[in-house]
Amino acid sequence: MDDTICSIATSLGIGAISIIRVSGKEAIKIVNQIFKGKNLEKVNSHTINYGYIVNKEEIIDEVLVSVMRKPKTYTMEDVVEINCHGGIETTNKVLELLLLNGCRLAEPGEFTKRAFLNGRIDLMQAEAVSDLINSQTDKARKIAINGLKGNGSNLIKNLREELIKIISNIEVNIDYPEYEDIYEVTIEDIKTKIQDLKNKLSKIIQEYEDAKIIQDGIKTAIIGRPNVGKSSLLNRLLNEEKAIVTDIAGTTRDIVEGEILIDGIKLNIIDTAGIRETNDVVESIGVKKSLDIINQAALTLLLLDNSQELTNLDLELIEKTKNKTSIIVINKNDLDNKLDISHLKNRDIVYINTLSNEGISKLKEEIKKLFNLEKIEKSDYNYITNIRQIAKIKECLQRINDIEKGLNDNIPLDMLEIDLKNIWNTLGTIIGESYEEELLDELFSKFCVGK
């Protein structure tokens, strides 16, 4: 961390402004060497300075340079940001000059890595930076900004404090084993506290499911026999003629995808090839894909045709989707009814007609109910969503389960103490109290360059 790093922080292309960021001990000195204007080594911290970037006598660009001295900076090191005119040539030239004058090109995420290593943010907050950049909906952004503010970190820190209290409780028991009365009282107390801890960890895992929906959306598959109107439904939902619709059975052969937002939650909708027995090679590959998608989707919309009797294939699909989160969508309700719904007991059913759009809002309502989107809408967006962090929480939960079993079998208290300290350590790795170098490398390599 002794060297001074630089990187283009904005995306490289033609635009009004490009920002090149420099961080490290020599940041101000190096930029000053290629700057014509005030002496940057003498200007006040957190000032913006007008001037030129020069290569000896040649003016490369007219710029504004922000000088921010440590420690109140993104990395807690001296940071300089050069605002130059957007454009690939200019930006690259300024970067090249910085490299020639002693900077090293930053690795992806290296600025944030330094912010972590210098103690300005913890590991959860660092990961939230990446989530913020990658968030695709407003709600995903809200989760990320809460993470960045440290809400998730505080949650973990509180859990660790509770653990410390339990551990000290146990130590009293180990140190004064002769007081049997105290032991009797506190062991019950310890059990209650461990139960409480377990509930809190379980809640984080449960809420993670909601958060996944907010961040990734709901993968929704439209399936059914050929010609029931799957592509028509996709088009209605997207409000766009995306998929080809004809009255020829087997029109859709490969999957067609689109996205909509329902109450700010993204629905990734997949229209599939109609499922039937076929000798056509291309179509049969499509059919296989359709069947696979049922297993991958978070929501299946099984389309049936109101104007036809149920076929064996329909019945098979009804059976296949029985234990999945699914809605039976009965299309073509403008035509005379021939479909007998007595086979559809205990299933969510919505009638629609894609010609007039009837039932489409009802379908959306049903999806909202199914995924409890109203609850998510009212949530405070304090979720832990990072897979690494969740894996650690699950690990803690597993250990607590083991401890509970042990407590019932009267495990020795010093063993219990060791187990609880392990959980305390595991929680610590979530916020980066301890870490392995490889973990950091892997984690920050997923960041974009310049962040």
Ligand X SMILES: Nc1nc2c(ncn2[C@@H]2O[C@H](COP(=O)(O)OP(=O)(O)OP(=O)(O)O)[C@@H](O)[C@H]2O)c(=O)[nH]1
Residue 231 in contact with Mg ion, rule: CB under 5 A: yes
Q: How far is the CB of 220 from Mg ion (least distance, A)?
A: 15
Contacted by 229, from Mg ion, ligand X, none: CB < 5 to 8 Å by type: ligand X
* Piece of the chain touching Mg ion by CB under 5 A; list 39-47, 210-218, 230-238, 392-400: 230-238
Pairing status of strand 58-68 against strand 326-331 = unpaired
Contacted by 335, from ligand X, Mg ion, none: CB < 5 to 8 Å by type: ligand X
Identify the CA nearest to 348 among candidates 305, 311, 299, 307: 299
449: region left, alpha or beta (phi > 0 left; psi from -120 to 50 alpha): beta
Query: Which of positions 273-292 make contact with ligand X (CB under 6 A)?
Result: 273-274
Residue 226 in contact with ligand X, rule: CB under 6 A: yes
Q: What are phi and psi of 217, to 5 degrees?
A: 85, -175
Query: Which of positions 400-439 make contact with ligand X (CB under 6 A)?
Result: none
Q: Which residues, other chains included, contact 435 with Cβ-Cβ below 8 Å and sequence gap of 6+?
A: 123, 429
Residue 12 in contact with ligand X, rule: CB under 6 A: no
Q: How far is the CB of 231 from Mg ion (least distance, A)?
A: 3
Contacted by 354, from ligand X, Mg ion, none: CB < 5 to 8 Å by type: ligand X
Q: Are 3 and 27 in contact (CB under 8 A)?
A: no
Q: How far apart are the first and last CA of the chain?
A: 16
Contacted by 266, from ligand X, Mg ion, none: CB < 5 to 8 Å by type: none
Tokens of 145: 């900004």
Residue whose CB is less far from ligand X, 151 or 231? 231
Tell me the Cα Rg of the chain: 30
Q: How far is the CB of 107 from ligand X (least distance, A)?
A: 48
Residue whose CB is less far from ligand X, 277 or 437? 277
Residue whose CB is less far from Mg ion, 259 or 441? 259
* Piece of the chain touching Mg ion by CB under 5 A; list 186-194, 222-230, 324-332, 338-346: 222-230
Total binding residues toward ligand X, as defined by CB under 6 A:
24
Query: Which of positions 83-122 make contact with ligand X (CB under 6 A)?
Result: none
Residue 4 in contact with ligand X, rule: CB under 6 A: no
Tokens of 193: 């506290």
Bridge partners of 358? 353
Q: With 0-12 CB in 10 A as exposed, 13-18 as middle and 19+ as buried, what is 305?
A: buried
Tokens of 160: 């660790």
Q: Which residues, other chains included, contact 47 with Cβ-Cβ below 8 Å and sequence gap of 6+?
A: 66, 67
Q: How far is the CB of 276 from ligand X (least distance, A)?
A: 8
Residue 220 in contact with Mg ion, rule: CB under 5 A: no
Residue 290 in contact with Mg ion, rule: CB under 5 A: no
Bridge partners of 269? 220, 258
Residue 353 in contact with ligand X, rule: CB under 6 A: yes
Q: How far is the CB of 244 from ligand X (least distance, A)?
A: 7
**DSSP state letters, 102-153:** T-EEPPTTHHHHHHHHTTSS-HHHHHHHHHHHH--SHHHHHHHHHHHHTHHH
Q: Are 303 and 253 in contact (CB under 8 A)?
A: no
Pairing status of strand 17-23 against strand 5-8 = antiparallel
Residue 252 in contact with Mg ion, rule: CB under 5 A: yes
Q: Are 376 and 207 in contact (CB under 8 A)?
A: no
Q: How far is the CB of 370 from ligand X (least distance, A)?
A: 22
Residue whose CB is less far from ligand X, 228 or 373? 228
Q: Which residues, other chains included, contact 364 with Cβ-Cβ below 8 Å and sequence gap of 6+?
A: 262
Pairing status of strand 218-224 against strand 299-305 = parallel
Q: How far is CA 217 from CA 263, 321, 388, 448, in A?
A: 11, 20, 19, 23
Residue whose CB is less far from ligand X, 199 or 246? 246
**Of how many residues is the chain composed?**
451
Contacted by 382, from ligand X, Mg ion, none: CB < 5 to 8 Å by type: none
Tokens of 445: 């390599």
Nearest residue to ligand X on Cβ basis? 274
Q: How far is the CB of 338 from ligand X (least distance, A)?
A: 13
* Piece of the chain touching ligand X by CB under 6 A; list 59-67, 78-86, 192-200, 351-359: 351-359
Identify the CA nearest to 389 among candidates 48, 107, 156, 83: 156
Q: Are 265 and 371 in contact (CB under 8 A)?
A: yes
Contact map string, positions 306 to 345, toward ligand X, x by CB under 6 A: -------------------------xx-xx----------
Residue 209 in contact with ligand X, rule: CB under 6 A: no
- The residues that touch Mg ion, with contacts defined as CB under 5 A, are 230-231, 251-252
* Positions that interact with ligand X (CB under 6 A): 224, 226-232, 245-247, 249-252, 273-274, 331-332, 334-335, 353-355
